[in-house]
Structure 1
Amino acid sequence: MQLGLFPLPLFLLPEGVSRLRIFEPRYVRLVKESMKDNQGFVLAMKEGDSLCSFGTHVKIIDFETLPDGLLGVTIKGIKRVKLSNIGQEADGLWVADAEALPTWEASREHPDFLGDALLALFEAHPEHAAQYGSERHFDDLNWVCQRWLEVLPLANNQRQWFIAQTDLEEAKQFISVLLKEENIREE
């Protein structure tokens, strides 16, 4: 399926929510087309002048006119995708074929301290937490790990590596080690 791409340094995974300010004509067109057919678009990361191979298919779940007159949209991650045949249209809008990657299997494991630590982070940053409204799943290990990956200061190559994974195991291990190291430093 060919989709429009929105290249940003923003990292969003399935069930992740973020707000965007839209001002360039090519992205206004992208939003209009996405809303017209409810197809969504892909949030893609840039590496230099080119786009990375993996991104997240997102849907627009809300929109508004911002106080400065610009268009504001709220997006939600739907699925991870692998991009191919990446190119640009005449107005500079990036497009690509997007192949859906398998959804990470639901984990029966409880997130324990990962979920508790994320809840504490949300409480410390209510502006970020507000984007999720009541859609918070601190008892779902997939959801918790994906939110951690979104907020951690990772390099693009690390983000690309995690988004390409077939399950959450590597993410869970990485986040666990990171949080345990941080707890040791604070003691």
Structure 2
Amino acid sequence: MTKLFPLPLFLLPGGRAKLRIFEPRYLRLVRECSANQQGFVLAMMQGKRLYRYGTLVDIVDFETLPDGLLGITIAGRQRVKIQSTEQEADKLWVGEIQALNDWPHDEFIDQEENEEKMRIAAGLKNVFAAHPDHAEQYEAPYFEDLTWSCQRWLEILPLSNAQKQWFIAQESAEEAKQFISQLLEQEVE
């Protein structure tokens, strides 16, 4: 069984985020995942129900925060489908998961789509420039990779949980690319 961490945070493979850990069950999750060199699934929750899709993440850094709490940095590794769930005695969620294939990566090879792809990357660069605290999590951003750029857009856009679940269930970044392109076109108009 894989440990699950329900949060309203949406993260896809290649994404990074910082978390503050203070509840005993999640301190246990961090301790056990670190000791066993295993990741955990970042899962979204609606009420008392976990959504079906999440992202397997790895803990890539630790720190003691100014308030004395534990801070961790996580990095998205792989999209997963949550097959079944249960709660342990301390209310920590665990579940059986199925790994999903990564979205194919497109490195701006197709000249016909190059303008659209460059617009998506340029827009994301502008967001990163406006939010350096977010951008600093990425030592080497892959703006030239359309899939990477689309994944970062989906993480920061104010989408509903249902929309996020729909996107994470897709087999490629194609739907995300079209959605983000339309948003960027509307902003220009």
Q: Same fold (TM over 0.5)?
A: yes
Which residue number corresponds to residue 104 of structure 1? Answer: 103
Cα deviation, residue 131, structure 1? 1.1
Number of aligned residues: 182
Paired residues of 2:105 and 2:148 also in contact (CA < 8 A): no
Which residue number corresponds to residue 156 of structure 1? Answer: 161
Letter in 2 for 1:63: F
Which residue number corresponds to residue 178 of structure 1? Answer: 183
In 1, the alpha carbon distance for the partners of 2:107 and 2:39 equals 30
Q: Given the alignment, which residue of 126, 129, 134 partners 1:128?
A: 134
Which residue number corresponds to residue 122 of structure 2? Answer: 116
Letter in 1 for 2:44: M
Cα deviation, residue 45, structure 1? 0.2
Q: For the aligned residues, what is the CA RMSD? A: 0.8
Over the matched positions of the two proteins, sequence identity in percent amounts to: 57
Secondary structure of 1:64's counterpart equals strand
Matches within 5 A, 1:14-163: 14-109=13-108, 110=114, 111-132=117-138, 134-163=139-168
In 2, the alpha carbon distance for the partners of 1:121 and 1:92 equals 37
Paired residues of 2:107 and 2:144 also in contact (CA < 8 A): no
Secondary structure of 1:73's counterpart equals strand
TM-score in terms of structure 1 length: 0.95
Which residue number corresponds to residue 13 of structure 1? Answer: 12
In 2, the alpha carbon distance for the partners of 1:129 and 1:143 equals 14
In 2, the alpha carbon distance for the partners of 1:125 and 1:108 equals 25
TM-score in terms of structure 2 length: 0.94
Secondary structure of 1:75's counterpart equals strand
In 2, the alpha carbon distance for the partners of 1:114 and 1:127 equals 20
1:118-169 per-residue CA deviation (whole Å, 9 max, x = no partner) reads: 001000000100111x220110001000000000000001000000000110
Cα deviation, residue 84, structure 1? 1.4
Mind listing any 5+ residue stretches in structure 1 that lack a counterpart?
none
Cα deviation, residue 37, structure 1? 1.1
